[in-house]
Amino acid sequence: MVASRRGSGSITLPTGQTMTIHTRTHEEEDLPHATKKTMADHLRKYESLFTLTPQRMRMIVEAFKDSLELGLQKPKQVVPMIPTFVFGWPTGKESGDFLALDLGGTNLRVCLVTLQGEGKFEMTQTKYRLTEEQKQDEGQKLFDFCAECLKTFVDTNFTDEDGTSLLKPGELLPLGFTFSYPCYQSRIDHGELIRWTKGFGAKNTEGRDVAEMFRQSIEKYKIPVVMTAIINDTTGTLIASHYVNPKTKIAVIFGTGCNAAYMEDVKNIDKIKVLKINEQDQMAINCEWGAFDSFEHEHLPRTKYDIIVDETSNKPGEQAFEKLISGRYLGEILRLVICELIDEGVLFLGQETYKLETPYVFETAFLSLMESDPTDELLMIIGIFTHFFAVETTLAERQFFRALAMLIGRRAARLSACGIAAIVGKMDYLDEGCLVGADGSLYNKYPGFADRVHEGLIDIFGEKGRNIKTVHAEDGSGVGSAIIAAMTKVRRDAGLYPHV
Ligand code: BGC
Q: Model confidence over 381-403: pLDDT tens digits?
A: 999 999 999 999 999 999 999 99
State if residue 198 touches ligand 1 by the CB under 6 angstroms criterion.
Answer: yes
SS3 204: coil
Q: How far is the CA of 477 from the centre of ligand 1 (A)?
A: 12
Instruction: Return the closest-CA partner of residue 469 out of 487, 461, 481, 457.
Output: 457
Closest atom, ligand 1, to C-alpha of 253: 5
Residues 6+ apart with CB under 8 A from 190: 209, 211, 212, 230
Indicate the top mutation candidate among 206, 210, 233 to test ligand 1's pocket, ranked by most ligand atoms within 8 A of CB: 233
pLDDT tens per residue across span 74-115: 999 999 999 999 999 999 889 999 999 999 888 899 999 999
- Determine which residue's CA is closest to atom 8 belonging to ligand 1: 181
Torsion 136-141-147-153 (CA) sign = negative
Give the pLDDT score at 19.
58
Is residue 256's pLDDT more than 90?
A: yes
Q: pLDDT per residue over 392-431, tens digit each?
A: 999 999 999 999 999 999 999 999 999 999 999 999 999 9
- Using left for φ > 0, alpha for ψ between -120 and 50, and beta otherwise, residue 181 falls in beta
Q: What is the DSSP string of 422-448?
A: HHHHHHT-TTT-EEEEEESHHHHHSTT
Q: Which atom of ligand 1 is nearest to the CA of 319?
A: 7
Active site residue 180: yes
Buried b (16+ CB within 10 A) or exposed e, 213-226: bbbebbeebebbbb
Lowest-pLDDT choice from 159-173, 206-220, 444-458: 159-173
What average pLDDT does this structure show over 322-344? 97
pLDDT per residue over 265-321, tens digit each?
999 999 999 999 999 999 999 999 999 999 999 999 999 999 999 999 999 999 999
Say yes or no: CB of residue 288 within 6 Å of ligand 1: yes
Catalytic site includes residue 402: no
Q: Report how far Cα 142 is from the mean position of its chain's Cα atoms.
A: 20
**Whole-angstrom distance, CA of residue 76 vs CA of residue 80:** 6
232 lines ligand 1 (CB under 6 A): yes
For residue 120, the surrounding DSSP H or E stretch is: strand 120-129
Q: How many whole angstroms separate alpha carbon 109 and alpha carbon 137?
A: 19
Beta partners for residue 101, in sequence order: 110, 177
Going from the Cα of 186 to the center of ligand 1, the distance in angstroms, rounded, reads 19
- Which atom of ligand 1 is nearest to 105's Cα? 12
Task: Give the residue, out of 135, 183, 194, 197, with the most ligand 1 atoms within 8 A of its beta carbon, to mutate for a pocket test.
Answer: 197
Question: Does the CB atom of residue 102 touch ligand 1 within 6 A?
Answer: no
Name which of 279, 296, 250, 273 is nearest 425 in CA terms: 250
Percentage of residues in the chain having pLDDT higher than 90: 83
Which atom of ligand 1 approaches the CA of 197 most closely? 7
**CA distances to 130, 393, 449, 461 from 453, in Å:** 30, 31, 6, 12
Beta carbon of 290 within 6 Å of any ligand 1 atom:
yes
Which residue's alpha carbon is at the smallest distance from atom 9 of ligand 1?
181
What pLDDT is recorded for position 18?
A: 60
Name residue 159's beta-bridge partners: 165
Q: How many CA atoms lie within 13 A of 150 on its CB side?
A: 30
Q: Which of 144, 233, 310, 439 is catalytic?
A: 233
Q: Please state, in angstroms and rounded to a whole number, the distance separating the CA atoms of residues 60 and 274.
A: 32
In the sheet where 120-129 sits, what is the strand order?
120-129, 107-117, 95-103, 173-179, 225-231
Tell me the whole-structure pTM to 2 decimals.
0.92
Is there a contact between 336 and 308 (Cβ–Cβ < 8 Å)? yes
* Predicted local distance difference test score (pLDDT) of residue 118: 83
pLDDT of residue 298: 97
Polymer length in residues for the chain = 500
Q: Which stretch of DSSP H or E encloses residue 115?
A: strand 107-117
Span from the CA of 497 to the centroid of ligand 1 (angstroms)? 26
Q: Out of 102, 144, 180, 411, which one is annotated catalytic?
A: 180
Contact between 214 and 475 (Cβ < 8 Å): no
Q: How far apart are CA 80 and CA 272, in angstroms?
A: 13
User: Catalytic residue at 233?
Assistant: yes
pLDDT band at 474, cuts 50/70/90? confident
CB of 255 sitting under 6 A from ligand 1: yes
- 2-11, 155-164, 232-241, 467-476, range with the lowest pLDDT: 2-11
